[in-house]
Structure 1
Amino acid sequence: MREALKKRLASLTPRQRDIYEFVREKILTRGYGPTVREIGTQFGIRSPNGVMCHLKALQKKGFIVREARMSRAIQLTDRPQRLTSLRFGGHICADQPQLFDSETERIDFAGVFGGGYNVAYRVEDESLAEERIFPGDYLIVREEDYYRDGDKVLVLAEGKPMIRRHYQEESRVRLEPLRPTRGPVYFTDAKILGTVAAVVRQF
Structure 2
Amino acid sequence: MAQTKVRKLTPRQREIYEFLKDKILNRGYGPTVREIGARFGIRSPNGVMCHLKALEKKGLIIRESHMSRAIQLVEWPPDRKWGVRFVGDLSASGVKASGRGEERLDFSDVGNDENLDCYRMKDNSLSDEHIVAGDFVLVRKADSYTSGTLVLVRKRGKRPTLARYFVEEGEIRLEYPGKKGTDTATKNDVLGELVGVIRRY
TM-score with structure 1 setting the length: 0.48
Q: Report the structure number with the largest CA radius of gyration.
A: 1
